[in-house]
């Protein structure tokens, strides 16, 4: 009897209890983090035991896409007095950091500010989910995009180790985007910078680091210092199908655009290729010609409407700043 009881206890002791039974596959993930990155297994077991699976996240990620807004509807979300005034105030409070970023990376202050305004209203809305909950829920409970979010979860844990921050406390969006500029963990590792030199890359509570990180992101995605961004144009005849394909990357020579009937009167001289940006207004389509810097903004969010909102909000903030000098 004693021998049977002892054998049973040994068997129970040898069985590894899954860190969180709501996260299928988490043990294999922990194994990877231990062998690949040297994490402590017991510590990660404890972390994942505290993860909350959020049904709201699963509903948000799987919700059918709503009817896409036309440009004039989308524009009205971001081109508001409150966002323009907020950008102006942010500029006043962080002049030195913005000037330093513009000098080092070549990205104008108003573009950096505008991205912060579009993404989080200058830090007012950075998301309400713990990043560990968001990424774990999507990595282990949302099969269609599990590989992507599993990779982001891995990178999140790596960055918490590098920056010596809590694995449980950071908050972000339902998809795990973090901080003032809404960086995914992979973008944090690749592009976030310690812009104030205090030894940490803090994009949650340190606007200076957020400013430098956004500027660095744009620079490493092809920002050309001193070059313009996008210019209005008119089309004098029906457009070729190839120019309506919605490819964001600049691809058309100026000669091709002239032959297609586009006016280049507002485009600075140069030999760079351009993209055609079509946007729907209430009274019909309007056209713009985008340069490399417009494309760089679309690397932050792969949307021409996003990039145009950033551009036009930046112009409005710059105009208000210039008026008050």
Q: Which two tokens stand for residue 186?
A: 């992979």
Give the residues across from 235 on adjacent strands.
262
Q: Does 119 participate in catalysis according to the annotation?
A: yes
Q: Can you tell me the distance from the alpha carbon of 185 to that of 189, in angstroms, rounded to the nearest whole number? A: 6
Rounded to 5°, the CA angle 164-169-170 comes to 80
Q: Which of 110, 119, 152, 154 is catalytic?
A: 119
**143-148: long-range contacts at Cβ-Cβ below 8 A with a sequence spacing of 24 or more?**
144/62, 145/61
Based on its alpha-carbon atoms, the radius of gyration of the chain, rounded to whole angstroms, reads: 24
Do 292 and 250 meet the contact criterion of CB atoms below 8 Å apart? yes
Active site residues: 119
């Amino acid at each position: 009897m004693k021998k049977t009881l002892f054998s049973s206890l040994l068997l129970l002791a040898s069985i590894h209890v899954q860190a969180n039974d709501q996260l299928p596959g988490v043990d294999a993930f922990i194994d990877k983090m231990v062998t690949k990155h040297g994490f402590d297994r017991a510590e990660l077991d404890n972390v994942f035991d505290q993860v909350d699976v959020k049904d709201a996240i699963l509903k948000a990620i799987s919700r059918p896409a709503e009817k896409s807004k036309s440009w004039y509807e989308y524009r009205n979300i971001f081109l508001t007095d409150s966002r323009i005034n907020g950008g102006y105030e942010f500029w006043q409070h962080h002049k030195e950091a913005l000037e330093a970023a513009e000098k080092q990376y070549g990205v104008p202050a108003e573009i950096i500010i505008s991205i912060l305004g579009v993404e989080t209203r200058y830090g007012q809305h950075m998301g309400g989910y713990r990043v560990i909950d968001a990424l774990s829920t999507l990595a282990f409970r949302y099969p269609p995009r599990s590989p992507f979010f599993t990779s982001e979860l891995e990178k999140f844990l790596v960055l918490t180790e590098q920056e010596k921050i809590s694995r449980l406390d950071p908050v972000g969006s339902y998809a795990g985007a973090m901080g003032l500029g809404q960086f995914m963990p992979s973008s944090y590792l690749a592009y976030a910078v310690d812009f104030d030199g205090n030894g940490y890359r803090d994009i949650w509570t340190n606007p200076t680091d957020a400013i430098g990180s956004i500027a660095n992101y744009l620079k490493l995605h092809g920002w050309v210092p001193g070059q313009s961004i996008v210019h209005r144009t008119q089309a004098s005849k029906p457009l070729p199908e190839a120019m309506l394909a919605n490819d964001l990357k600049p691809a058309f020579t100026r000669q091709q655009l002239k032959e297609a009937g586009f006016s280049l009167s507002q485009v600075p001289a140069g030999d760079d290729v351009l993209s055609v940006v079509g946007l729907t207004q209430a009274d019909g389509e309007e056209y713009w010609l985008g340069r490399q810097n417009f494309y760089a903004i679309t690397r932050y969010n792969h949307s021409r409407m996003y990039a145009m909102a950033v551009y036009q909000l930046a112009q409005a903030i710059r105009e208000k700043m210039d008026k008050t000098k």
